[in-house]
Amino acid sequence: MGRTPITVAYGDGIGPEIMEAVLHVMERAEAPVDPETIQIGKEQFEAGWTSGIPDEAWESLRRTGVFLKAPITTPQGGGYKSLNVTIRTTLGLYANIRPSMSYHPFISTKHPDMDLVVVRENEEDLYTGIEHRQTPEVVQSVKLISRPGSERVIRHAFDYARENDRKKVTCITKDNIMKLSDGLFHQVFEEVAEEYPEIETEHQIVDIGLANIADRPQHFDVVVLPNLYGDIASDIAAQISGGVGLAGSSNIGDQHAMFEAIHGSAPDITGKGIANPSGLLHGAVQMLQHIGEPETAERIHNAWFKTLEDGVGTPDIAQGEGVSTMDFARAVADRLGQEPGQIEPVRYAKQERKSKNYVPPQVFDRPNDVKRELTGVDVHVCADDIEAEDLGQQLEAAAGAGWSLSVITNRGANAYPQSGDKVFTTDHWRCRFYPSGDDVLTNGDIRRLLEVVEAAGLDWIKVDNLYDFDGIPGYSEAKK
Ligand code: NAD
């Protein structure tokens, strides 16, 4: 069997120390990989690459399709792009998988029975970086959830459960509040779940869902979440299992995959030779599974368990003084072929590695024949020092008989027509118009509305068209 080329980055801070330790264990385990090194991170940021990744690094990443990455130091100050976000979006790494289990009684935890896997959507949601300051007083971040993006991460979570003999998948959203965005993620979850009848499913609202993960993690098996909730859930799970120094993660796309520790470059302990290489080692174990080397992954993982059981650990997890990073790696390598006595050994099944030219099946239920009908418009206006009543009357006078001003809200609360107590207001007003007659509404009608609003001296800053999809409103109702 040939060796699999992999791209390796030693990273910053403790990165080189833990990467050296992990490569030592892989070499001693005779893992059939051919590592090639790329330089990314702090020095490349300082050399002028705004995302910390030079062109030649991309060439290696694209060619091997498999990336083992040590942590990177994110430079302070503006002008830099997040290296991790750039890699995820450029290589299409849509699913982030983080297993968190307890190693009781060898690593202290309040949850000896926990063994859960967080599958986090990795590209969308509030992480698209679409933000605007719209008025002197108000900024917005766009939360973007797509049907194809949701479908492929949710499908990945179910496939992961099936391949790893997991029994239940829990979806966590806030769809009682964000009925359209989180509602879509939840709806796609229910649709995909039907294709996996042997797997139990449930849905929890994010506030109680994350409280449950923190309080009784043993209830969960596989958990799938949109990006932001997934980010938070995976750190909670890692922390309560014994600490962020232990967990590794995979970032999976159709053609590429990246494996890493979940912690950062730990500048406070850099150069001391005491960093724990376990998180990156777990990333490497997931990588070996991914490239179709489950036996080597299993041997390393069980040797690591045995090392813990024998009481060997770096200072962050040791009962006593602890050993150095490299001594810990040598201790793991010395135990290759041994199995733990108390912790249940892991068993990895053979998984088919997708070829580099793999084209995913077109599974998305693309709603091509949906009838989209323009029914109204939200015109956002910047105005300070004005009463809602005055703004409403000015807009109605400007718009004329062809339009009906249904409502004006400020920060989502109804300001006009005033139906109860006067609401607290800022300089950012959302003004919802519907046409008065039955004629078909066009973008031209909206342009003319904006012209008359502007001519009346009102400063419109943004427009959201209101559409019905197959007769169902594709926008939230104004709050009462
Ligand atoms: P950090 O995870 O580096 O450190 C937090 C604490 O945990 C520190 O006390 C550190 O000593 C300890 N720690 C972390 N890893 C350890 C290990 N393997 N062994 C023993 N102790 C360990 O978080 P931070 O200090 O917030 O971030 C430092 C830098 O890392 C920042 O520049 C940050 O942006 C970056 N970072 C990078 C990644 C990544 O590349 N994936 C992830 C997180 C943070």
Segment 8-51, tens digit of pLDDT = 999 999 999 999 999 999 999 999 999 999 999 999 998 989 88
- Expressed in angstroms and rounded, the spacing between residue 71 Cα and the centre of ligand 1 is 8
Correct CATH for 372-473 of 3.40.50.360, 3.30.70.20, 3.30.70.1570, 3.40.50.970: 3.30.70.1570
pLDDT recorded at residue 362: 57
Q: What average pLDDT does range 230-235 have in this prediction?
A: 94
The residue ranking higher by pLDDT, 362 or 456, is 456
| Atom 11 of ligand 1, nearest CA residue | 266
**Residue-range domain boundaries for the chain:** 1-94+243-364, 110-241, 372-473
Percent of the chain residues past pLDDT 90, beyond the cut: 80
- Expressed in angstroms and rounded, the spacing between residue 278 Cα and the centre of ligand 1 is 13
Percent of the chain residues past pLDDT 70, beyond the cut: 95
Q: Which of 85, 98, 263, 317 to mutate to test the pocket of ligand 1 (most atoms within 8 A of CB)?
A: 263
Same fold, 110-241 and 372-473: no
- Asked if residue 350 has pLDDT above 90, the reply is no
| Atom 39 of ligand 1, nearest CA residue | 71
What mean pLDDT, rounded, does the chain reach? 93
- Expressed in angstroms and rounded, the spacing between residue 271 Cα and the centre of ligand 1 is 14
Give the number of the atom of ligand 1 that is nearest the alpha carbon of residue 73.
Answer: 32
pLDDT recorded at residue 104: 86
Segment 269-302, tens digit of pLDDT = 999 999 999 999 999 999 999 999 999 999 999 9
- Expressed in angstroms and rounded, the spacing between residue 267 Cα and the centre of ligand 1 is 7
Paired sense of beta strands 33-38 and 4-9, if any:
parallel
Segment 171-223, tens digit of pLDDT = 999 999 999 999 999 999 999 999 999 999 999 999 999 999 999 999 999 99
The residue ranking higher by pLDDT, 369 or 79, is 369
Class of 110-241 in CATH: alpha beta
Segment 426-472, tens digit of pLDDT = 999 999 999 998 889 999 999 999 999 999 999 999 999 999 999 99
Q: How confident is the model at residue 352 (pLDDT cuts 50, 70, 90)?
A: low
- Asked if residue 168 has pLDDT above 80, the reply is yes
Segment 66-91, tens digit of pLDDT = 999 999 988 877 777 788 888 998 99
Nearest to 300 by CA among 102, 27, 105: 27
The answer to whether 79 touches 236, Cβ cutoff 8 Å, is no
| Atom 24 of ligand 1, nearest CA residue | 264
User: How far apart, in Å, are the Cα atoms of 196 and each of 96, 157, 173, 444?
Assistant: 21, 11, 20, 47
- Expressed in angstroms and rounded, the spacing between residue 15 Cα and the centre of ligand 1 is 10
Task: Find the residues whose C-beta lies inside 6 A of ligand 1.
Answer: 14, 18, 71-74, 84, 245, 260, 263-269, 275-276, 279, 316
pLDDT recorded at residue 354: 58
Residues 6+ apart with CB under 8 A from 301: 282, 285, 346, 348
Correct CATH for 1-94+243-364 of 3.40.718.10, 1.25.40.10, 3.90.110.10, 3.40.1010.10: 3.40.718.10
Segment 48-69, tens digit of pLDDT = 898 899 999 999 999 999 999 9
- Expressed in angstroms and rounded, the spacing between residue 248 Cα and the centre of ligand 1 is 13
Q: How confident is the model at residue 479 (pLDDT cuts 50, 70, 90)?
A: low
